[in-house]
Amino acid sequence: MSGYDAAYAAWRADPEAWWLEAAAGLDWSVPPRRAFDASSGLYGRWFPDGRLNTCHNAVDRHVAAGRGGHTALLYDSPMTGRVEHITYATLQSRVARLAGALAARGVGHGDRVLIYMPMVPEAAIAMLACARLGAIHSVVFGGFAAAELATRITDATPRAVISASCGLEPGRVVPYKPLLDAAIGMAAHKPDFCLVLQREQLRADLTPGRDFDYAAEEAAGEPHPCVEVAATDPLYILYTSGTTGKPKGIVRDHGGHAVALHRSMSMIYGMAPGEVFWAASDVGWVVGHSYIVYAPLLAGCTSVLFEGKPVGTPDPGTFWRVCAQHGVKLLFTAPTAIRAIKKEDPEGTHLAHHDLSRLEALYLAGERCDPPTAEWAAAKLGKPVVDHWWQTETGWPITAGFREFGLFDPRPGAGGKPTPGFEVRVLDASGAEVPPGAEGALVIKLPLPPGCAPTLWNAEARYREAYLSTFPGFYDTSDAGMVDGEGFVWVMGRTDDIINVAGHRLSTGAMEEVLASHPDVAECAVVGAADGLKGQVPVGLVVLKSGAARPEDQVARELVALVRERIGPVAAFRDARVVPRLPKTRSGKILRATIRKIADGQEFTVPPTIDDPVILQEIQEVLAR
């Protein structure tokens, strides 16, 4: 029996004992005697009788253990040319003072604090200061439009907002304060006060009586101790897009979150205290919450906080420069970042300039990684490339490769095997389980493990309807895929990305895999467009690599032939269009639902999370030809 099989079997045999053992790795003011209470909440609650403080476990306990001089946060900003090492002792001092400043202005246990900041150390410090007080933070991606920020202020009703004067993008400065002012003006709820970090690239005018200088408040704050909270108390609210257009406030609790993330750092990523971990994401997204701020610090690691882009700051070698310069052991990023690097530097010329001997693995998540991209990265890096699957709602990986137990042999396109705690099943539309290798809806048998969202903020009925009602007894991931005969999970796309062509259910993910294998294709998206005869037909949009040799019309013909060859005529794939770029969210996810509406000639709204709205006009023009 492999190490993974033994661990998974141990969890299956006695989940209560397995999770209590994991919980013993943290400091508790009142240690839990029970791992799970099935009678509480929508499907049960974790560590119901435990009490702790997340900030203590992420910061103070490492200082108490004599590791105060070790680097906790390593800030690298090619946008400003700054590199800053913040030790655990310095982080403890700064977090305690900011917590004191917030407490002096009335913020306490259970109060909400909205954080609207760029990728700067102060964003992480603000999150930890809230955790220290038992206040609930809600981080909104920096630069979100005012209307979207207003909906989150209205829903979360924060006592305070912590923001910055500006964010930095390649070639431009993004003023945050006008967006914040407009959002507060629109919101039904008004915060008591705002703290604004003044950045030298653009200082903001402060509103007298409401706005205060972040740096001055932190400096003058009286250090505040950690506040003991129940394991089931909310740590944060993170808003994610909802199908109704109204954001969903994902709630994360203190105890289950800390236990799951702490355990994941060694089990999944093979990290130990003092080692350097880099999640190349943003604190505004779940990856930033889980694997920039909380998990690395809970594990006593050094976490890289990077303000920049994979290309253009200044070149496609930036990621490799950061890994080499800071001795990164494990890099975790989105497939879209690797595709962007591959597009600009297909031969890996920039990569060859850097010593990556200390980098041991690359982990990918955010959307399914197409096999050609994973294979390219593995070939160029000479390191394991591990695709793993998780969601904002779960907060940590549902499936993965496990460095603690020895990585599985590479299977590009698969998301690994289920993490202990997650029992993944594949069901058909009637709720019946399908045989291995057959596609269907990917679901998780209840209860969800620690770390997953127990509810939505002030919307328990919405949680039940969105996740628990479709398949009773299971959490519906809204992802489609299969589990093969060896237990590997293959995520092929969202369930609404399964298209029905003349009665045949086909995976757009499978078609994308074929398109991505073409030597001139950098990235692609396939959507189902409405068709009067077949119901739906697939339409492929492709972005070509820089310097692609073949003419666009030739590439399009070759792609049609390739899909026919590898999937068959049943796919009815006859339409491949070359586009300059694909519309994406700021976190790198391709906006397939919006592309589908454009292809169908339907009205659509410009998603607030889109990276660049001009792309949608380009897509319209290409599809109108």
- 3-state secondary structure at position 467: helix
Residue 222 DSSP symbol: P
pLDDT score recorded for residue 244:
54
pLDDT on residue 242: 62
53 with 183, same domain: the answer is: yes
Number of domains composing the chain: 2
Which residue is listed with tokens 């398949």?
471
* Same-domain check for residues 410 and 512: no
Query: What is the full DSSP assignment across 40-97?
Result: STTT-EESTT-EE-HHIIIIIHHIIIIITTSEEEEEEETTTTEEEEEEHHHHHHHHHH
The answer, yes or no, to whether residue 532 has pLDDT greater than 80, is: no
321 in the same domain as 219 = yes
Please tell me the predicted confidence (pLDDT) of residue 615. Answer: 87
Q: Which pLDDT band holds residue 503 (cuts at 50, 70, 90)?
A: low
- CATH label of the domain that carries residue 340: 3.40.50.12780
**How many other C-beta atoms lie within 10 A of the C-beta of residue 181?**
18
For residue 547, give both structure tokens: 């310097």
**Is 308 contained in some domain?**
yes
Q: Out of 425, 453, 470, pick the residue that ends a domain.
A: 425
**What per-residue confidence (pLDDT) applies to 531?**
84
Return left, alpha or beta for 143; rule: phi > 0 is left, psi -120 to 50 is alpha, else beta.
Answer: left
CATH code for the domain of 553: 3.30.300.30
* DSSP 8-state code for residue 570: G
State the pTM of this model.
0.89
Least confident of 348-362, 408-422, 593-607: 593-607
DSSP summary character for residue 487: S
Q: What is the pLDDT of residue 145?
A: 80
Using alpha carbons only, give the angle 13, 18, 24 rounded to the nearest 5 degrees: 165
The answer to whether the beta carbons of residues 395 and 422 sit under 8 Å apart is no
Residues 384, 513, single domain; the answer is: no
Judgement on whether residues 185 and 313 belong to the same structural domain of the protein = yes
| Average pLDDT of the residues in 93-100 | 98
Close Cβ partners of 561 (under 8 Å, ≥ 6 residues apart): none
Given CA atoms 254, 256, 261, 263 in this order, what sign does their dihedral have?
positive
SS3 category, 530: strand
Q: Is residue 437 part of a domain?
A: no
Query: Which of the residue ranges 201-210, 271-280, 436-445, 541-550 would you say has the lowest mean pLDDT?
Result: 541-550
Pair 583, 611: CB distance under 8 Å: yes
> Is the predicted pLDDT of residue 502 greater than 80, yes or no?
no
Q: Is residue 366 part of a domain?
A: yes
431: in domain:
no
Assess whether 371 and 272 both reside in one domain.
Answer: yes
Alpha-carbon gap, residue 545 to 522, rounded angstroms: 5
**Same domain (yes/no): 95, 199:** yes
The answer to whether 216 touches 229, Cβ cutoff 8 Å, is no
Tell which residue, 267, 341, 268, 328, has the closest CA to residue 301: 328
Average pLDDT, the chain: 94
Q: Looking at the structure, tell me whether residues 181 and 266 fall in a common domain.
A: yes
| Averaged pLDDT, 206-211 | 98
Q: Is the model more confident about 605 or about 95?
A: 95
Q: 453 lies in a domain?
A: no
How far apart CA 247 and CA 141 sit, in angstroms, is: 13
Identify the residue whose tokens are 């930036």. Answer: 318
Counting every residue written for the chain, the total comes to 625
The confidence score (pLDDT) of residue 525 equals: 94
Tell me the residue range of the domain where 177 lies: 3-425
Reading the block at residue 462, the tokens are 């919405």
Kindly indicate the confidence band of residue 585, based on its pLDDT and cuts at 50, 70 and 90.
Answer: confident
For residue 359, tell me if it sits in a domain: yes
Q: What is the pLDDT of residue 535?
A: 80
For the chain, state the CA radius of gyration: 24
User: Do 85 and 197 reside in the same domain of the chain?
Assistant: yes
- Same-domain pairing of 358 and 506: no
Residue 310 lies in a domain: yes
For residue 609, pLDDT over 80 is answered with no
Mean pLDDT (whole number) for 81-103: 98
Helix axes 15-23, 254-267, angle to 10 degrees: 90
**Is residue 353 domain-shared with residue 219, that is, in the same domain?**
yes
**Same domain for 522 and 418:** no
| Domain membership flag for residue 434 | no
